[in-house]
Amino acid sequence: MSEQELKALRLRIDALDEKVLELISERARCAQEVARVKMASLAEGEVPVFYRPEREAQVLKRVMERNKGPLGNEEMARLFREIMSSCLALEQPLKVAYLGPEGTFTQAAAMKHFGHAVISKPMAAIDEVFREVAAGAVNFGVVPVENSTEGAVNHTLDSFLEHDMVICGEVELRIHHHLLVGENTKTDSISRIYSHAQSLAQCRKWLDAHYPNVERVAVSSNAEAAKRVKGEWNSAAIAGDMAAGLYGLTRLAEKIEDRPDNSTRFLMIGSQEVPPTGDDKTSIIVSMSNKPGALHELLVPFHDNGIDLTRIETRPSRSGKWTYVFFIDFVGHHRDPLVKGVLEKISQEAVALKVLGSYPKAVL
Ligand SMILES: C=C(O[C@@H]1C=C(C(=O)O)C=C[C@H]1O)C(=O)O
C-alpha cells in the first residue's frame, strides 16, 4: 500500500471518528434527558430507577440483530455495552460489589454485565457480597453460581436461603486458566501450586499429567494465588488473564482447564424487580414435604405446561436434618400467565416457594 493511500484512509478515519464522537455525545445527552424525565415523573416519596436491565438487554439485542459486520456481533455488543455503561453513569453511577479481590473472574463478569463505568467494590467472601447489597451500601452484587465442569457454587445457593435478594441478571463467562509464574520463580523446581479449590478441580487432569507430585494449595481466590506467587521462587498459581495482568505474572502454560468449554455463570443480585423482555429466565427456591413423589409433583406442572427447566439443584434446607430445598431455573418470566399458573400449582403442594427473580437471558 502506498503512503498516499494510507494517508487518505487515515483522513477518512479521522472524519468518521468525529462523527462517531458527535453521535456518542448526542446519545449521552439523550440519556441525561431520560434521567430528567424519570425524575419528573416520580410520585411523592418514590425513588428513581435509573438502571433498567430489561431495556439494556433490548438495546444489545437490537445491535446484534442489525449488525452487518465486519465486526462480530459479540464484539459490537461489547462496544455498545461500554457506551451504555457510560451513559448510565451520567444518570447515576452504579455501585457494584463483587467477590474479590481485584482480578477475579467475578470482577470480569461484573464488567461484562455492567460495563466499566461502575464503581466496583471487591468483597472477601460471597456472603459479604450478599450483606453489602442487603445493607444498601451498593446497588448490586455479583456472585458465581455454577460452573460447567464443577457444578454448583454452594456458598451462593446457601446465601439465598439467608438473605432476601432479587436476581436481576445473569452472565456467562468462558473460563480459561493459565499456569502463572513470577520473575523470581525457578520454573524447574516448582513445589507448590496455589489456586482456588474450584480452579484446581477444573484443571485436575492437567495437573495430574504435568505436575503429579507438586503440592496443590487451595486459597481464597485465584487473584490471591497470583498475589502469593509474586514473592516466592518455588511456587506457581493457576489463574486467569486479569490476575496475570494485575500481578505481572507470565504464562508457563496457557488454557490448562480440562474441558475446553469450561464456563461459569454469575448472577447479579439486588432489590429491583425486572419487567419482562419476552426472553427471560426465572429462578425459584422450593421446599417440599418429605414424602414419596414430592420431586415428581414439583416437576409435573412444568412438564404439563411445556416450560423449559434449565437447572435444578438440591441443597440441605438447614431447618431440619435430611430436609431439602430445590433451586430451579426455567425459561419465562414470573408475570407470564403460563408461569403464574405453574407457580400457583406448585405453591399448593410446596411447604414454601420463593421467586428469587425473573431477569433477561444473558445477551453477551
Ligand atoms: C437511557 C436509559 O437509562 C439507562 C441507560 C440506558 C442506555 O444508555 O441505553 C438504558 C437503560 C438504562 O439502564 C433508559 O432507561 O432508557
Q: Looking at residues 184-197, what average pLDDT do you find?
A: 94
Q: What is the mean pLDDT of residues 339-355?
A: 94
CATH number (2.40.440.10, 3.10.20.740, 3.40.190.10, 3.90.79.10) of 178-261 reads 3.40.190.10
Q: Where are the alpha helices (DSSP H) in the chain?
A: 3-40, 53-66, 73-91, 105-114, 126-134, 154-162, 197-202, 204-210, 222-230, 241-247, 294-304, 337-349
57 lines ligand 1 (CB under 6 A): no
Same topology between domain 178-261 and domain 273-360: no
Q: Is 54 in the pocket of ligand 1 (CB under 6 A)?
A: no
Put simply, whether the predicted model's pTM sits higher than 0.90 gets the answer: yes
Using a 6 Å cutoff on CB, does residue 52 contact ligand 1? Answer: yes
pLDDT in tens, 77-114: 999 999 999 999 999 999 999 999 998 999 999 999 99
Q: How far apart are CA 167 and CA 268, in angstroms?
A: 6
**For a pocket test of ligand 1, which of 30, 63, 91, 359 has the largest count of ligand atoms closer than 8 A to its C-beta?**
91
Pocket of ligand 1 contains residue 214 by CB under 6 Å:
no
Distance 84 CA to ligand 1 centre (A): 7
Q: Is 91 in the pocket of ligand 1 (CB under 6 A)?
A: yes
Q: Which fold has domain 273-360?
A: Alpha-Beta Plaits (3.30.70)
Whether 56 contacts 84, CB under 8 Å: yes
Query: Would you mind telling me the total number of residues written for the chain in this entry?
Result: 364
Residue 359 pairs in a beta bridge with 281
Q: Cβ(257) to ligand 1 under 6 A?
A: no
Q: For the segment 60-69, what is each residue's pLDDT rounded down to a tens digit?
A: 999 999 999 9
Give me the interface pTM, i.e. the ipTM: 0.98
Query: Where along the chain do its domains lie?
Result: 178-261, 273-360
For the CA of 31, the nearest atom of ligand 1: 1
Through-space distance between the first and last CA atoms of the chain, rounded to whole angstroms: 37
pLDDT tens across 24-79, in order? 999 999 999 999 999 999 998 898 899 999 999 999 999 999 999 999 999 999 99
Q: Rounded to an integer, what distance in angstroms lies between the CA atom of residue 34 and that of residue 42?
A: 13
In tens, the pLDDT along 297-325 reads 999 999 999 999 999 999 888 777 667 89
Ligand 1 pocket residue status of 63, Cβ below 6 Å:
no
* Any ligand 1 atom below 6 A from CB of 35: no
